Structure 1
Amino acid sequence: MVPEATSNAQVKGASALPAEWQAQRIGQQPDSQDVVTTPVPAAPDKTSAAPTAGASPAGSSASDQRSDSTGQAAVERIFLPFGDSTAVAGFWSGNDFLLVADRAVPMDASALKDTGPFSHASVQTMGNTTVVSIHFDQSRELSLHKQTGGWILSLVHPQDEGAHRSSISPEQRDGGLLYPLPGAGRVIEIADPASGARLLVAPSSAEVPGPVLTRHHVGYELRPSLQGLVFAVESDQVEVRNGDGGPFLDILGKNGIPLAGGASGRVADDRVDWAWLGLRALPSPMLREDYRRLWTRAAMLPPPQRDEARLAAARAAFAMGDAPGARAILATAIQDRPDLASLPNVAFLQAASELLAGNTAGAGALESPEAGADGVLWRGLYMARSGGNPKRAASLLAEGYLQLRDYPEPLRQKLAPEIAHYIAQYGSDEDRTVLTQQDTPPLDDLTQALLTLRNGDQEKALGMFSHLAASKDPVVSERGNEEAIALKLAMKRIRPAEAATAYDRLLFAARQAGREKDVRHGLIDALMQAGEWPRALVALDKSVELFPEERVSLTPKVEEILIHLAESSADEHSGADTIDTVAMIQSHVDQIPDGPAKGRILAGLGQKLMAIGLPGKAATAFERALPLAPDETRRAAWGGELAQADIAAQRLGQARRALDETADTSVDGDVASKRRVIAAGLLLREGNRDQALLMLAQDESDASLDLRGRILEEQRKWPDAVLVVGRLATHALPETGVLSLSQQELALRLATDAARANDWGTLDRLREWVGSRKMTPERQRVFNLLVTSPEEDLRRRAEAP
């Protein structure tokens, strides 16, 4: 074994090598122009489920060298003179790269001393087997390709590109499995230097790269290899021997479980479903045997060596659909070694187990980008169960739906209906096509009904849902009822209040069927459509109490409900109802993120606090709302409300400051008018009546006329007061019809002002306008006294019998 060189200067010391080495010194010659190199992954992490595949760079030319830390040229390619017909296998064992040949080849590794990465090489010959071991201080990526007389082993650099790795699929033969291997040599048994495991190495004289990732099977594993195949046999029943065209695996004993040729199938190299979760389409007896074997092995190993065995046992439990068992094994492993939880494969398996066990809150790691495209099915399932975007979740589920074909039967039966229902209900037209592809699980009646609904045939879908609702299966019946209620509401066959009642009655059955969360969502939506906002908020609180993970996803509904409660008019509530509404808003408003919507809620809360006589608390609400105003107009309006609350709370200085800080000359219309009235009211409180009147002189709004009238009444300027209050009455009193209590008060007020001004013309017109309309007895008596002139009183007395 010698470093490759391209000049005589680089071959110093060649005479010290054996003559047969010098005769086979291919490294002194230019490489073949048609050489194809194949990279091997870096040395695997012992705790990882599978080594991470590296880049695929091509080998550099024979003259390629780089300097080491001493400034000398570091050899990055070496020639191994195994010969043309020798079968070779190459693979990692910890930080050692092993090359195993099926014949004795005497080699001296001294030529590699102090040459760089390949310096720590050793050769061991055992009978007709040669093992070359090269130790690396850190993980390196390698490539191995054949040349005349032997093999070239090279370092691989990130900027290089490599060839595609081939895949070897087993074939069912005579009750066993044959792994086709061109140029297959004899099977060699060695002990793994890193773990002590029994390895059966199948070398090849042709370039045949092995798998990139570990493939787990019942009783054995097919480990990653750069060249040839490497089997780690764990069961005494599994035998690996030379077959016709490659290594042949068979089961010893009459009661052994047959080997499954398609066990790995399409998911052999799927690093999530296969290497991380241990999923493959094995029969239930094989899954149970795999779990028993792995669990027993984990229990028998010394504590320091249990990590990978425990992870394998957890994967086996998960494959059987035993999520609680997988969780328990992982919890024990992580308790003994906490850093395991930070490994992507362990975190993903733990999250998937939590999701499968119903703990959606503990499955957040499924969103990790570490899983790549292979994890879309589990990311979509997590998103669907956690209340994420339904369309996005359905798209992810559809993208990974075909993976279910290669899942164990117990897990497939558990997941396939749920995933199919979700895709049928929320998926796009393209997403739904995956449900009808070949080799997919058969569609149940509910999926067919949901597809019928999505295709636009509501009547037929309603009939199908009603049929499901009559099923004797309580789970099927509940879902049929649930979908029928939603469809009837959409078709306006029932009112929202009726739908809410129906959902409420369905809650117990939904709890038994595991659908309570979805039914509560329907109940909340129906109550919101019915305008029953307090009941909707109570129902929402109950849902969050039962399903805490729903808090974030339900926040938009909380926001919508609070806006309606905050902006409802006073006429919609009695005093007690307003107090209850205030309490509801106060207890929920901090769940809403800061923004314009929260500002609207706080401003509405301030108005309701003013209505129940709590101006100090109202001012606090308006102060919190101001920074959240979406524009200057809204900020000016809320600033005026804040000033009004401060005035009512006898905080005149703070009211003045609120008006000054929210002033905006660009604001006009109702907002500007209301702010003028509030500012005039503040002047009035400060004793500046004339300034207040001057400020309101050109404002004809009802609030302005009301305040001007009151100022004039305080000044006993009755004729002027009659003119102002009269204009207010013209705006506020209807031409005909019943008068409200406030309208009766306004009529009585105008009559009082006119009587004090001796304005009998106004009193006569007022008597003719509203005198015949019904008022409360006391108001009627006073009004009649005010609008009746002395002459009219004498005439009535004369006409009396």
Structure 2
Amino acid sequence: MTLWLATCLTFPVSSYAEESSTATRLLVPHDNEAVTPPADGSVAVSEQPVVRHSVRRHRSRKEKPAAPPVPAPSATEKAQPSASTGNLPEGWRSERFSTQSDVEPQKPADNAPAKTNGPSVAPAKAPAPSLPEENKAAAVNKIFLPMGDGAGIGAFWSGNDFIIVSDRATQMDTSALQGTGVFSAATVQTVGNTTIVAFHFNQLIPLEMHKQPGGWILAVRAENEARRHAVITPQTKDGGLLYPMPQSGRVIELSDPASGARLLVATSVEECPGPLLRRHKLGYEIWPSVQGLVFALESDQIEVRKGNGGAFLDILGKDGIPVASSAEGAVADDRVDWSWLGLRSLNPTVLKEDYRRRWTQAAMQPPENRGEARLEAARAAFAMGDAREAKAILGTAIEDNPELALQPNVTFLQAASSLLTGNAEAASALANPEAGSDGVLWRGLYMARSGGNPAKAATLMAQGFSNLQSYPDSLKKQIQPEVATFIARYGSDEDRSVLEPLPAEGRFDLARAFMTLKAGDQDKALAMFSRLASDRKPEVAVVAAEQVLDTKRAAGRIRPAEAAAGYEKLLFAARQAGVEKEVRHNLIAALMQAGEWPRALISVDDDLRLFPEDRIALAPQIEQILQHLAESDGQTGGAKPVELIDAVAMIESHIDQIPDGPAKGKILAGLARKLQGLGLPGKAAIAFERALPLASDDAQRAALGAELAQADIDAQRLGQARRALDETQDPGADATLASRRRVITAGLLAREGSRDQALQLLAEDESDASLDLKGRILEEQRNWPEAVLVVGRLATKNLPEVGSLTPEQQQLAIRLATDAARANDWSTLDRLREWVGGRRMSTERQRIFTLLVTSPEDELRKRAQLQ
């Protein structure tokens, strides 16, 4: 049900009987203004008592000059007896108005006489008594306030009171609002040509106001409807500030009922919604408002008055800081830069004075009320660029009131202060996307300083880069060059476009060099970086020197090992400049590119010791390094024992940093082979067992199973070897793998004493491993003739026709000669002597070979020739 309140609001006649004549006279609109509310409006009346608001005089918390009195009534008004000051109650004679709800609602006086003319909206009638009780006020979500067409209106929240200020005197009767639900508790206060209406609510509810012929509609806003708000840009004019407003009304001074703050309400005849959030200015604040603008003055020197086109702010006195110095920046509704961080584009002198005022106000407050004042002081310190002071103030405020730490704006300010003081770990709250688009710059800066994704960080900073233009110079100088350099270095083409054109100042030279490099002019960029490498600022010189090495290494103008040496020389300076992590990452990359895998892994360990958060980011590099360390097979004898031991130790100490998968399985298999090469088959078997479940397919599983079985055999664990072979069978294995597993099975049979069965298993296998094992079994059986045949086939396959012999080939020739000598196979010995006898062997092997291939007849013949 729509309620049209068009009645004259007065206090009960029983209390103010002397005003009855005035109340009767003011039942009709003034100045021939017609108020014609819709005829279908009605008021739901119930037996609920009317909640009245008391009227009292507010005194300021500190001594200040008395506020200008409300303009005196006109001569005509003075002629009315009821309008005289002597006949008004005490509260109505106040120079400042303050409205608050009574502690206990008061019922209308029983002897209150009926109004002579009744409500000014004649058609309105009480609903029929037959209406159900629950329906009496259920639909009252808007009311009509008959304040006239030309009245300037302001409206704002003060605690749980909604205050409406009119620059015209309008008597209205609140009795029609009894039992209307949310609008039941209302009071009206008029003095001279000013009216203040207050509605008390149990909690804040969304309200809006719309102008209608003859007055205004006050309504409850729908939940899904966004609230209207203003973006008002102040204009510098005549040494002051003009806040533009459509058809501005008078500026009315009063005390805030909730806080006692001195308020100046700039009213407007037309609809003029104010900002959503509180705006902090030097010496004053702009409060959220539903209609008009509300200025809370902290300085006695600031004056707000009606100007040509809006509300005009000026400074009184010669020593005050001009309010025009805070004109930069619109009254916008962002949550971070203005409301959370208190950033305003003011000169250092103004910022310092603002901080002094905030700190003084915080010190003068009672201990229990210092929380908000300290937050303001912390914001002022942060705006000056003094993040350490802001952090210290916040720490004290939170220590006294721990609940402050739960507020998002406090958490954000504390995190931003920590970030600017170099403590990125304490700034993790900046990563929370709760701040939305307002906080992208700070999210990006945190991500950049904490080692996050550089491309994502550059994109975030590029999205918020325009905000920097309105930051205070002291703070802007701290972070703008860093942000610009990061975007230029890691951002996309679209990200870098926000930097154009870069300022000509020298602090942007590093960003300019990166822009040149990204544009493709490598030679010019190298020249710029080389010049900047001798800059007196370490954070510039180190980054430039590092980029010279990066660019040359990428272009092949410098060997990776030389680049690694250059990075190592930069480490100390990089630590001083705060870019040690980046330099260490490049050092690791250069060492890996140079193939210096052990040194690369040592550098990784150094990095993780200093920056534990890099563990996940460096996992791919660790995996690649371990793969290369595990590649060489220790069983080949190509690696020195010391190198094998170092490689084994490095792999064992880092293998758990690699996630499970085929890559880790290959590294474990390489580790097991190195352990085999060191003569540690038991440990090798353990490594093979860990690698087996990580095999990528059945063929690899069968191959690992064979190696595991061989390690178990070498460790004298024959039962485990048999089990390993049985559990890793692969019928589809290729011929090479099948032969390898067959040889290992035969070796196991031989160890178990089944030599004939082993020989039978290898009968058709002519691989080198099979021939070698068959020869050894025959040699153990002392079956020398058969051994000569088998070892002879092995020698035929592996001994070259001409050329030098490797140590292994020399040993194979001696083995064949030994078997042939024991079999008295002189024909084989003669052929072997002719085949390899003239080739160079080691001294010891040459002596043995000569002794084996020389027959007794040849020995007698040589002795005869010597005689």
What TM-score does the superposition give when structure 2 sets the normalisation length? Answer: 0.80
1:597 counterpart = 2:663: yes
Counterpart CA distance in 2 for 1:162 and 1:20 is: 43
Counterpart in 1 of 2:320? 256
Counterpart CA distance in 2 for 1:276 and 1:324 is: 17
Match for 2:706: what amino acid? G
Q: CA deviation at 1:211?
A: 1.0
Counterpart CA distance in 2 for 1:25 and 1:501 is: 92
Q: CA deviation at 1:149?
A: 2.1
Counterpart CA distance in 2 for 1:651 and 1:697 is: 26
Task: Please identify, of 224-233 and 727-736, the stretch whose mean Cα deviation from structure 2 is larger.
Answer: 727-736
Counterpart in 1 of 2:462? 398
Match for 1:143: what amino acid? E
Counterpart in 1 of 2:626? 562
**Identity in percent:** 63
Counterpart in 2 of 1:76? 141
Counterpart in 2 of 1:539? 603
1:458 counterpart = 2:522: yes
3-state SS of the aligned residue for 1:553?
Answer: coil
244 and 373 in structure 1: CA distance in 2 versus 1, 3 angstrom threshold: same
Q: CA deviation at 1:411?
A: 1.7
712 and 355 in structure 1: CA distance in 2 versus 1, 3 angstrom threshold: farther
Counterpart CA distance in 1 for 2:614 and 2:649 is: 22
611 and 11 in structure 1: CA distance in 2 versus 1, 3 angstrom threshold: same
Counterpart CA distance in 2 for 1:666 and 1:170 is: 83
Q: Within 5 A, what are the aligned runs for 1:412-451?
A: 412-437=476-501, 444-451=508-515
631 and 191 in structure 1: CA distance in 2 versus 1, 3 angstrom threshold: farther
Q: CA deviation at 1:191?
A: 2.9
Q: Within 5 A, what are the aligned runs for 1:132-171?
A: 132-159=197-224, 161-162=225-226, 165-171=229-235
Could you tell me whether the CA contact under 8 Å between 1:3 and 1:75 is conserved in 2?
A: no
Could you tell me whether the CA contact under 8 Å between 1:267 and 1:274 is conserved in 2?
A: no
Q: Within 5 A, what are the aligned runs for 1:689-700?
A: 689-700=755-766
Counterpart CA distance in 2 for 1:760 and 1:21 is: 149
Q: CA deviation at 1:186?
A: 2.1
Task: Please identify, of 411-420 and 333-342, the stretch whose mean Cα deviation from structure 2 is larger.
Answer: 333-342
Counterpart in 2 of 1:237? 301
Counterpart in 2 of 1:746? 812
**Cα deviations by residue, 1:633-685 (Å, 9 ceiling, x for unpaired):** 33333333333333333333333333333333334355444444444433333
Match for 2:808: what amino acid? S
Q: Which has the larger radius of gyration?
A: 2
3-state SS of the aligned residue for 1:705?
Answer: helix
Counterpart in 2 of 1:638? 704
Q: Within 5 A, what are the aligned runs for 1:745-784?
A: 745-784=811-850
3-state SS of the aligned residue for 1:98?
Answer: strand
Match for 2:711: what amino acid? A
Q: Within 5 A, what are the aligned runs for 1:130-279?
A: 130-159=195-224, 161-162=225-226, 165-260=229-324, 263-265=327-329, 268-279=332-343
Counterpart CA distance in 1 for 2:122 and 2:402 is: 50
Could you tell me whether the CA contact under 8 Å between 1:3 and 1:111 is conserved in 2?
A: no
**Cα deviations by residue, 1:587-625 (Å, 9 ceiling, x for unpaired):** 222233333333333333333233323333333333333
Gaps of 5+ in 2: 1-34, 51-112, 126-131
Counterpart CA distance in 1 for 2:43 and 2:183 is: 20
1:619 counterpart = 2:693: no
3-state SS of the aligned residue for 2:169?
Answer: coil
3-state SS of the aligned residue for 2:480?
Answer: helix
Q: Within 5 A, what are the aligned runs for 1:352-751?
A: 352-437=416-501, 444-471=508-535, 474-570=538-634, 573-668=639-734, 670-751=736-817
Q: CA deviation at 1:370?
A: 0.5
Q: How many residues align?
A: 761
Counterpart CA distance in 2 for 1:629 and 1:646 is: 19
**Cα deviations by residue, 1:241-266 (Å, 9 ceiling, x for unpaired):** 33333222222332222224664515
Q: CA deviation at 1:205?
A: 1.8
Q: CA deviation at 1:495?
A: 1.0
Could you tell me whether the CA contact under 8 Å between 2:529 and 2:544 is conserved in 1?
A: yes
Counterpart CA distance in 1 for 2:187 and 2:751 is: 101
3-state SS of the aligned residue for 2:250?
Answer: coil
Could you tell me whether the CA contact under 8 Å between 2:154 and 2:267 is conserved in 1?
A: yes
Counterpart in 2 of 1:87? 152
3-state SS of the aligned residue for 2:289?
Answer: coil
**Cα deviations by residue, 1:531-586 (Å, 9 ceiling, x for unpaired):** 11111122222223233333332232222222222334436642122222222222
3-state SS of the aligned residue for 2:244?
Answer: coil
Match for 2:235: what amino acid? E
Task: Please identify, of 488-497 and 753-762, the stretch whose mean Cα deviation from structure 2 is larger.
Answer: 753-762
Counterpart in 2 of 1:33? none
207 and 512 in structure 1: CA distance in 2 versus 1, 3 angstrom threshold: same
3-state SS of the aligned residue for 2:425?
Answer: helix
73 and 683 in structure 1: CA distance in 2 versus 1, 3 angstrom threshold: farther
What TM-score does the superposition give when structure 1 sets the normalisation length? Answer: 0.86
Counterpart CA distance in 2 for 1:267 and 1:87 is: 21
Could you tell me whether the CA contact under 8 Å between 1:221 and 1:231 is conserved in 2?
A: yes
Match for 2:572: what amino acid? F
Counterpart in 2 of 1:34? none
666 and 303 in structure 1: CA distance in 2 versus 1, 3 angstrom threshold: farther
Task: Please identify, of 270-279 and 694-703, the stretch whose mean Cα deviation from structure 2 is larger.
Answer: 694-703
Q: CA deviation at 1:739?
A: 3.3
3-state SS of the aligned residue for 2:345?
Answer: coil
Q: Within 5 A, what are the aligned runs for 1:28-47?
A: none
628 and 381 in structure 1: CA distance in 2 versus 1, 3 angstrom threshold: farther
Q: CA deviation at 1:405?
A: 0.9
1:786 counterpart = 2:848: no
Could you tell me whether the CA contact under 8 Å between 1:394 and 1:431 is conserved in 2?
A: yes
**Cα deviations by residue, 1:313-341 (Å, 9 ceiling, x for unpaired):** 22222222222222222222333333433
**Cα deviations by residue, 1:11-30 (Å, 9 ceiling, x for unpaired):** 899xx99979976549979x
Counterpart in 2 of 1:37? none
3-state SS of the aligned residue for 2:311?
Answer: strand
Match for 1:597: what amino acid? A
Root-mean-square deviation (Å):
3.4
Match for 2:592: what amino acid? M
Match for 1:103: what amino acid? R
Match for 2:810: what amino acid? Q
Counterpart CA distance in 2 for 1:338 and 1:700 is: 82
Match for 1:325: what amino acid? E
Could you tell me whether the CA contact under 8 Å between 1:626 and 1:639 is conserved in 2?
A: yes
686 and 379 in structure 1: CA distance in 2 versus 1, 3 angstrom threshold: farther
Counterpart CA distance in 1 for 2:117 and 2:630 is: 92
3-state SS of the aligned residue for 1:231?
Answer: strand
Counterpart CA distance in 2 for 1:415 and 1:541 is: 31
Counterpart CA distance in 2 for 1:564 and 1:167 is: 62
Match for 2:210: what amino acid? H
565 and 350 in structure 1: CA distance in 2 versus 1, 3 angstrom threshold: farther
Match for 1:763: what amino acid? L
Q: CA deviation at 1:209?
A: 0.7
3-state SS of the aligned residue for 1:279?
Answer: coil
3-state SS of the aligned residue for 2:385?
Answer: coil
Counterpart in 2 of 1:51? none
Q: CA deviation at 1:494?
A: 1.7
3-state SS of the aligned residue for 1:158?
Answer: coil
Match for 1:656: what amino acid? R
Could you tell me whether the CA contact under 8 Å between 2:517 and 2:525 is conserved in 1?
A: yes
3-state SS of the aligned residue for 2:182?
Answer: coil
Q: CA deviation at 1:393?
A: 2.1
3-state SS of the aligned residue for 2:268?
Answer: coil
Counterpart CA distance in 1 for 2:599 and 2:230 is: 63
Task: Please identify, of 233-242 and 282-291, the stretch whose mean Cα deviation from structure 2 is larger.
Answer: 233-242
**Cα deviations by residue, 1:326-372 (Å, 9 ceiling, x for unpaired):** 22222223333334333332222222222212222222222211021
Could you tell me whether the CA contact under 8 Å between 2:275 and 2:287 is conserved in 1?
A: yes
